Structure formats: C-alpha cells, structure tokens
Structure 1
Amino acid sequence: MPEQSKTPTTGDDVRPGRGAPAATGRSGSTGFRVVGAVLVLLMLSSSVPSALYVLYQQRWGLSSGAVTVVFALYAVTVLGGLLLFGSLSDTVGRRPVLGASLVLAIVSMGLFAGADGLGLLLAARAVQGLAVGLATGAMGAALLELTPPARPALGAQVNSAGPTVGIGLGGLGAGLLVQYAPAPTVLSYVLLAGAFALALVGVARMAESAPGAGGRLRVVPHRIRVPAAVRGRFAVLALTIVAVWAVGGFYLSLGPHLALSLLGSTNYLVGGATVALLAGAATAAQLLLGRTPPLRTAVLGLLGLLSGLALVLLALGLGSAPLFLAATAVLGSGWGAAFLGAFRALSTLAAPEHRGELTAAVYVFAYLAMSVPAVLAGTLTTIHGLQRTSVGFMVAVAAVCAPAVFATLRLASRTRAEGSTP
C-alpha cells in the first residue's frame, strides 16, 4: 500500500476519516480516472436516446410532447435520486453509492434494449435517471477529493467537462450506430451495458475518499441545504446553472429534430451530430479556459450564450442551416464556459464533509432547468410548431442570461474587494 501523503487531495483540506483509507498516490490517481470514466459514461448514456428520438417517433408514432415527457422523466428521476441520496455518500462512502448506481445503469440499458413502445422507454429512462441521481453527488465530491495535488483545479474541470464530453460522444456515437449499424435501437445499449460492467469492476477496486465514510445506511427524504453564509453567492451562480442547462435540455430533447428540419435531412447522424457539436464546442471552451478565474469564466460563458442565442434566432429567421450549425457551436462554447466557471466557483463554497450535499444542490437546479423548460417547449411545439416554439425558448433563455451577467460581475467585484477567491 502506498505511503500516505501529507498533502490534501485537493486544494481544500480533505482528509479521510474513520472507515476511509487515504486515497493518495497511485490509488488516488487510479480512483480519479475511474470516477471520471463513470461520469463520462453516465452522461454518454443519457444522451444516446436523444439521437434515437426521431426514430422512436417514426416507429411508434410519438409526438414531440411525448418525446419531451420521456426526456423530462429522466430529469425528474435524477432529481428524485438527488433528493433521496444527494448526501448519502458523505456517510456511507463514495464507492458503495457509485457501485449501486452502476448496477442501476446496467438495468436501464437492458430496459432500453428491450423497449418496443412508450411504456418500456419511460421505465428505462426512469431507472437511468435514478442511477444518475444516485451517483451525482458522489461523483462530484470524489473528483474533488481525488484531484492530483499538483493540479488542484482538475477535479472541478472534470466535473464540468465530463458531462459535455459524455453528451457529445453519446450523440455522435449513437447517431453513427443508428444510421449505419444493425439493430439501431439495441446495439448502443448493449455496448454501454458492457462498459458499465467494466466500470463497476474499477469502482470495486478503487480506494475510498469520503472523509466520513463508514456510517450507517439511512435513506430518508431531505431538503438539499446550502449553508446560510454562502446562499447569496449560490443564488447568483444558480442563475448561470439554470441558463446553461435550459439550453442543454432543449438541444437534448428537440435539437436533433430541429436540425433535421432545417437541413431537410433524413440522416439520423445529423441529429446526433448536432448534439455532439454543442457538447464538443463546450468541451473545447472548458479546456481553453481551464486556468481562467472561475467568475471571469462564468461571465465569458454567459456572453457566449447570449451571442449563440442571438445567432440561433437569426438562423431560424433566415431558415439557414449553415448559420444554425455555426450558432450551435457558439452556443456550445458559451454553455461549456459558463458551466465550468459556475461549478468551479460553487465547489469552493462547501466544507469537505458537505461537498456531496452542495454538489447535489447544484444539480437540483441543473436538472430542474433541463426538464421544466423542455416539457413546456414540447407541449408548445404541438400547438405552435417547432420553429416558433424554438424562437420563444431562445428569447426566454436570453432573459435569464442577461441579469446573470450583471449579477456575476457584481459578485466578482465584491469578491475582489474582499480579497478572496474565486
């Protein structure tokens, strides 16, 4: 067993407590990679159905409203998992929570592969959402705790970049398989089930990192709490989270359909590639701005979101497919930067023993922002059509971004005056 390091595993003071062996040296590095892989896989699997929604609509006669209900059920069950299990890993440990999540993920892949109509599709999405909700707090906290000491910002970077990498790979990979491989509604899920099984082995072998691991298993509904001293800052940054994930929810539910409509295409790869373009641009922005101060990154991201939204509106008005793709790339870069900046700023607000709980609170806002606007957009699409609904949606998100920019600038100014970080 490697010698215990005297250096905390993150920039914060994180020391494993009772029942939690020190996750340092090679074991900590391995654990960091395993948790990062689990994050990417879970997000990848969550975006695979997005590339298939158009096919499901054609085969089963689903409306746009039904598609957004399927998408929203995922987000609602993620929220349920967060509210029930958001801080569970703070007491029982990260490993058992991640292991249980991966088992649920494998079950959901089986349900997806066997789906032959709306009922099983809803069941699969519900189980998948519960798996992600169970794992979210544990993943976020573990990545911060297992961050290599030489790169203290890496945990927050992976926390924010992991979802965009996974979403992009899922959209593009599923689009390729649907268009060019056999069994389009089965193969993606079978491959993912195998990947989750390998990840489960990795989690079983990684070191525990939670400071208070070893406590009793007790699951009770509870309110996600934010420490009173940081609620003002949390509220400001939550505006950014809402804007970012409202865009993500729209693109993951209706984005492929909108792209196919504008491009006049029937190639399923186009829908998946649209999601991949959004997420790929987000990842590139996160890599580019990884060393930029968090609040400055959030402001740059919000400005990118506003620019992207304006370009999307112009593309819809002109009916221009090339401009729509360019706008998606700009929108994605703003999405990635805004989420990175907000998450990094939020990650410094909690003490180590409450990291899982605060991370869960962040994602409660994220998944509410993903689900509620997406369902509303899907409902309005059946009444007003896809293009008019898309225009209204982009205007509404811009109305959130604008005050978020000014609030974040004020927070950055106040933070500099106090001489604190971020």
Structure 2
Amino acid sequence: MGITAAMVAILVAAGAPTPLLPIYEKEWGFAPWMLTLAFGVYALALLVAILVIGSLSDHVGRRPLMIGALALELAAMLVFLFSTSIGWLIVARIVQGVATGAASSSLSAAVVELAAERRKKLGALMTGLAPLAGLGIGALFAGVLAQYVDDPAFVVWLVLAIVMALGTVFTLLTPETVSRKKGALVALIPRVSLPKQVHGLFAASVPGIVAAFFTMALFLGLVPIVLAGTFAVVHPIVGALAAFLTFGVGTLVSAATTGLRPPRLRVFGAAALTIGAVLFIGAVGGHALALVWVSAVFGGAGLGAAFAGTTRGLVPEVAPHHRAGLFAAIYLVAYLSMGASAIVAGLFVGPVGITTVAVAFGIVTALVSLAAVVVTAGHTARRTKSAH
C-alpha cells in the first residue's frame, strides 16, 4: 500500500502544475508559449528517462531505483518551491520528468511483486489506473489551493516536498523484491523493439495512442490557457476541475471495461476521442463554456479506453522478455506525441492567438482520432476474417 501511495504521489505532483502555471504567467509576465514549453519538456524528459533507465531496476533492484526516483522528485519539488522565474520552472519540470520516468517501471513492478498472491491482479490494475488518477487528483489538489490559499504555489510544493521526503524514507524500509543481475550498463542503452507478430497490431494502434496523448496534452497543457484567454476565466480551480474530470472519467472507464475485448475497447476509445475533440472545437469556436465540460467527459472516456485497449491487446501477444521493448515503443509514440504537440502549439499562440491554436489543435486531434476508428476497425475485421 505504501509503494502504491508513493507512485500515486509522484503522479499527483505531475498533475499539480496545470492550474498553477497560469498563475505564474500572470505574476511573472512571460509569454503564454512558455507554459506549453514547460509542459512539453516534462513529457520529453519522462520519455528519455523511460527509454534509458526503464529496465534498470531489473538489474540493480527495485529499491535503489525507487529511492533515487523519489529523491529526485523531492529535488524537483524544492526547485519548484524556490523558483523565481519561468526558467527555473522549466528546470523543475525536466527534473520531474526524469524522476517520473525513473519511477514508473520500478514502482509499478514493486506494487505487483509486493502484493499478496491473491491480490496480484488487483496490484496490476492499480498500476494501470494510477497514472490517470494521479494526474487528475494532482490538478484538483493544486486548483483547490489556488482558489482558496493566498500563496498556493508555495503551499502545494511544500506539501508535496514533505510527501516525497516521507516516501523516500518509507522506501528505505521497503524490502527488495528482485535479486541483482549483470547487465546494468547494457540496460542503459535504449531499446525499442517489437516482435514480428505484433507489427500489424502496433501499427493499427498508433493513431489511437497519438490521439489519446494529444487529448492529455490538451487538458493538461492547453485548456488552462484557453480558459483564461478565450473565456476570460480567472479562477484556477476551473481548469483544475476540467483536468480532474478528464482523468477521473478515464480512470473509471479503464476500471469498468476490464471485461471488454481490446479491439472493441480501442474502437470505443477512438470514437469517444473523436466526439470529445469535435465538442472542444465547438466549445471554443462557439464560445460555449459548458461544452468544454462535455468534451472533457468524452475525451477522458476515450483516453482511458484507448490506452487500456492498446496495452491489453498488445501485452498478451508478446513473451515476457519482449515486454520492456514493447512498452518502450508505446511510450515513445505516446510521450513524443504529447510533448511535441504541446510545444508546437505553444509556438503559434503568440502569432495567431490562443483561440485559433485551440481550434486547430482540436481539429488535428479529431482527424487523428477518426483515423484511429477507421484503422482499428479495419484491422480487427481483417484479423477476424483471417481467423475464419
């Protein structure tokens, strides 16, 4: 339970900047595109960490990597706490991305390994739900404090720094679950590998992964700026609630659809992502704030279903020793999509305005999501036909 709490805490910290970044923008007066840069570099740093040290815990043990990740996360919280400029915020986000990437594999593996035998499946389910739940809770936690506390950023980062310090101490007392083995240096060489038997399925899953993480970038990185710039919403809790709703719905859908076949789940997810993106376009284009909430529901449902359907469909198709390479490939597509899209969108905010950027982002997301529906349905039909 303690390791699960540590994993959720790291992801809560990842969602916390969403309602705080617009406050920093107002106080420090930097350009809006710097907000999306701060968001984008986090995703790219996380991706690099996953690719480089994602499998290191298999060689050096779970405990050392967990301790290192939590200590690095604590360092990121302290940089946030004492930041005086957007440059330091970007540094903090990079450190946070590395820490989150380092923690993702070791903490997830430790949760399952430390669980009692009868609770192994529950442990695996919790590791799958923790990312979405943590991001949503983090945004809501920071948003509530931003609404009702005089110096919300200081309180948020102080609380999270204390949590990370306690998590580090707790992890020091956690037993090791795997024995050390040779090959730690070799494990640092990034490996993105796909067994031949899943090439077609992975290719068919790519549009859904991209659409899901475009949606994640939208509600974590762009929506707070859209609410302020297009709808003149001054309360940070509104953006936090939009993110919380998105990831809360995603968590519930992922948990409630364990009985659905992965192909059907991917089609459902892509369709929901399409509807959510279209509703977001309508919300911004028609200046209808209520539609933002509806788009968050559909976007969250699509995010949860699409990613769950992707992992549940691909993982059983490969041998255990190929799964690290498989997840590296999935995360490469996912976080590259999220980070790059946020940075590119931010570069256009100044020249064309946030409303135009938001509509364009929604259109691209809708088109990719619609492509995911077509590609997934077509691939499923071909596999069904060949099986008969």
> TM-score, normalised on structure 1?
0.84
Structure 1 position 289, deviation (Å): 1.5
Residue 281 of structure 1: how far off its partner (Å): 1.7
The alignment status of 1:253 with 2:221, answered yes or no, reads yes
Q: For residues 46-85 of structure 1, what are the alpha-carbon distances to aligned partners after superposition, in whole Å with 9 as ceiling and x for unaligned?
A: 1111111111111111212111111111112112212211
Q: Which amino acid aligns with 1:214?
A: K
1:242 to 210, 232, 249: 210
1:286 aligns with 2:263: no
Is the 1:141–1:355 Cα contact (8 Å) retained in structure 2? no
Q: Please tell me whether the aligned partners of residues 237 and 346 of structure 1 are also in contact (alpha carbons under 8 angstroms).
A: no
State the 1:158 CA deviation.
2.8
Alignment correspondent of 2:376: 408
Q: Does residue 1:214 correspond to 2:181, yes or no? A: yes
Partners in 2 of 1:186 and 1:324 — Cα distance? 29
Of 321, 327, 330, the match for 1:353: 321
For residues 351-387 of structure 1, give each alpha carbon's deviation from its aligned partner in whole angstroms, at most 9, with x where no partner exists: 3334344323322221101111111111111111111
Work out whether 1:264 is the aligned partner of 2:257. Answer: no
Q: CA deviation at 1:332?
A: 1.3
Shift of 1:294: 2.2
Superposed displacement of residue 176, structure 1: 1.0
Shift of 1:274: 1.6
Matched, 1:304 2:282: no
1:106 to 71, 74, 86: 74
Distance 1:140 1:238, change over 3 A: farther
Aligned 1:41-190 pairs, distance under 5 A: 41-143=9-111, 150=118, 154-155=122-123, 157-190=125-158
CA displacement, residues 209-264 of structure 1 (integer Å, 9 cap, x when unaligned): 45x74335326443322233322222222322111011111221121121234543
Residues 231, 143 of structure 1: alpha-carbon distance in 2 compared, 3 angstrom cutoff: farther
Q: Which residue type is aligned with residue 120 of structure 1?
A: W
Give, in whole Å, the separation in 1 of the partners of 2:347 and 2:93.
19
- The verdict on how the C-alpha distance between 1:306 and 1:342 changes in structure 2, with shifts beyond 3 A counting, is same
**Percent identity at matched positions?**
32
Q: Which of 151, 154, 161 is equivalent to 1:193?
A: 161
Report if aligned partners of 1:175, 1:272 keep a CA contact under 8 Å in 2.
Answer: yes
Question: Is the 2:56–2:188 Cα contact (8 Å) retained in structure 1?
Answer: no
How far apart in 1 are the matches of 2:5 and 2:37?
A: 28
Between 399-408 and 183-192, the greater mean CA deviation after superposition: 399-408
Query: Structure 1's 189 and 275: CA in aligned 2 closer, same or farther, altered over 3 A?
Result: same
Letter in 2 for 1:256: P
SS in 2 for 1:348: helix
- Which one-letter code corresponds to 2:182 in the other structure? G
- 1:277 counterpart (245, 253, 257): 245
- 1:381 is aligned to 349
Closer, same or farther in 2 for the Cα pair 1:303/1:146, shift >3 Å? farther
User: What's the CA shift for 1:39?
Assistant: 2.9
Q: Kindly tell me: are residues 38 and 282 of structure 1, through their superposed partners in 2, closer, same or farther at Cα, counting changes over 3 Å?
A: same
Q: CA deviation at 1:155?
A: 4.9
The size of the alignment, in residue pairs, is 387
Structure 1 segment 305-384 matched on structure 2, within 5 A: 305-384=273-352
Post-superposition shift, 1:142? Answer: 4.3
Going from structure 1 to structure 2, the CA distance change for 1:229 and 1:209 (only over 3 Å counts) comes to farther
CA distance in structure 2 between the partners assigned to 1:397 and 1:245 by the alignment: 9
Over 3 Å counting, the alpha-carbon distance change for 1:342 and 1:152 in structure 2 is farther
Superposition deviation, residue 405 in structure 1: 1.7
Comparing 251-260 and 115-124, the one that deviates more: 251-260
Task: Compute the RMSD of aligned alpha carbons.
Answer: 2.5
Q: Which runs of 5+ in 1 are unaligned?
A: 1-32
1:102 deviates by: 0.8
- Conserved 8 A contact 1:236-1:408: yes
Contact 1:299 1:405 in 2 (8 A): yes
Kindly provide the amino acid, as one letter, of the partner of residue 281 in structure 2: L
Residue 147 of structure 1: CA displacement? Answer: 6.5
Are residues 143 and 412 of structure 1, via their aligned partners in 2, closer, same or farther at CA, if it must alter by over 3 Å?
farther
Give how far 1:164 is off. Answer: 1.2
Q: Secondary structure at the match of 1:254?
A: helix
